[in-house]
Amino acid sequence: MDIHEYQAKEILRGFGVPVPRGGLAYSPEQAGYRARALGGAAWVVKAQIHSGGRGEAGGVKLCRSEEEVRDFAATLFGKRLVTKQTGAAGKEVYRVWVEAASDIAQELYLGFVLDRKSERIMIVASAHGGMEIEDLAESDPDSLCRMVIDPATGLCEFQARELAFALGLRGGLVAQMVSTLRACYRAYRELDAMMVEINPLVVTHAGEIVALDAKMSFDTNALFRRPQIAELRDASQEDPRESMAADHGLAYVGLDGDIGCIINGAGLAMATMDMIQLAGGAPANFLDIGGGASPERVTQAFRTVLADRNVSVVLVNIFAGINRCDWVAEGVVQAYRELGLTLPVVVRLSGTNVEEGRRILRESGLPLITADTLAEAAERAVAARPKLAA
């Protein structure tokens, strides 16, 4: 789960990371009021969306008067910002962050991510901040400093100092960087984060280290024990299909194809999408209904898949272990009737109570397309598309 910049800054500030003073605004007038309350001669107005690259997309501006703050904020509200990370659809701006401008002497990059190879938290840092880390890794990979943290000891002070020296910091800046690094690590570890990124982390002319931007994402599976983080979710920034699925406990990722997939198990889901591609089709989604799929849960999965208007065929592929094929079959029949389906539905069942499940499908009297193998199911789903078009 992603959160907004201002939310990430508030969290990091609570752990001791220095951040600029700022305020949230939901209207141009409120943005002007925030600037007046902050004082000073210059302010930065930032669109709050779940994406990087906002500056390049016209979502960030340095303003030197309250009127300029209000005018720029007015251009942002309701606007769809399109960045490299949002795709062509972009994300709509509903709120802006107004903060006091900083006197920047140097920009750094700092990121905490999960390194799956070492199964450890890794720090990635660079003395060249303010640009996308992907671009930096491609244009100047040697500028990146990497450090893996041993979970038994956590981030030690000597490691943090080594990283500060590697970034070219000296004097009092080293102690500030050590404090910032350890604060970010605590936030990552204690809140079940998946990423903490500060880009840029700046050194001011006054000799202070400040997090000028911040991005955090969290492990969705751990939100049940982090209610304070779950409350920060902004559904307006999510794919409506994925938001609907999350509300019903379904794992869903929207894709660009037209064959809707309802599958149990992430591995089987990936294999099914591969087989659809191999058969000449394109999956419209990744959807894992998980274990213990009741008829009601299967029906909700159909609703989620059909919320994508590009779907022309639904493929149900179940290998029942914890699940039961008869429950899934009842759910397919229930969904077909309740939702008044007219598009082709391909069903492949295997595992626990498979014969009972097949009997339910066969005796339903519905025009369901059945298959015995994954390859056969994928081929029949792809073949069913022209029938719908005709």
Q: Dump pLDDT digits (tens) for 162-211.
A: 999 999 999 999 999 999 999 999 999 999 999 999 999 999 999 999 99
Q: Examine the domain organization and report whether 45 and 87 are in the same domain.
A: yes
Of the three residues 229, 248, 279, the one that is the final residue of a domain is: 229
Residue 10 in domain: no
Is-catalytic flag, 109?
A: yes
Count of structural domains, the chain = 3
Please identify which of the residues 5, 6, 188, 197 carries the catalytic annotation: 197
Residues 56 and 96 in one domain: yes
The annotation places the binding site for Mg(2+) at 199, 213
Query: Are 232 and 15 a contacting pair, CB within 8 Å?
Result: no
Q: How far apart are CA 201 and CA 376, in angstroms?
A: 54
Binding residues: 46, 53-55, 99, 102, 107, 199, 213, 264
Reported as a single tens digit per residue, the pLDDT across 229-257 is: 999 999 888 777 777 777 767 788 888 89
Q: Which of 5, 6, 109, 242 is catalytic?
A: 109
What's this model's pTM, rounded to 2 decimal places? Answer: 0.77
Domain shared by 250 and 348, yes or no: yes
Q: Which of 40, 69, 100 is the last residue before a domain boundary? A: 100
CATH number at residue 151: 3.30.470.20
Q: Which two tokens stand for residue 132?
A: 């996308």
Please indicate, yes or no, whether residues 40 and 80 belong to a single structural domain of this protein: yes
Kind of pairing between the strands at 209-211 and 215-218:
unpaired
- Domain end marker among 229, 264, 297: 229
Residue 197 known to be catalytic: yes
pLDDT of residue 235: 82
| Alpha carbon distance 184, 202 (integer Å) | 15
Instruction: Please indicate, yes or no, whether residues 174 and 246 belong to a single structural domain of this protein.
Output: no
Residue showing tokens 């998946």: 194
CATH code of the domain in which 333 resides: 3.40.50.261
Same domain, 225 and 133: yes
Q: What is the residue range of 355's domain?
A: 240-384
Q: Which residues are annotated as a binding site for ATP?
A: 46, 53-55, 99, 102, 107
Q: Mark the binding-site residues for substrate, compressed into ranges.
A: 264
Q: How far apart are the first and last CA of the chain?
A: 41
Are residues 378 and 278 part of one domain?
yes
* Cis bond before residue 200 (omega within 30° of 0): yes
Both 74 and 177 in one domain: the answer is: no
Pseudo-torsion of CA 130, 135, 137, 138, nearest 10°? -150
Mean pLDDT of the chain: 91
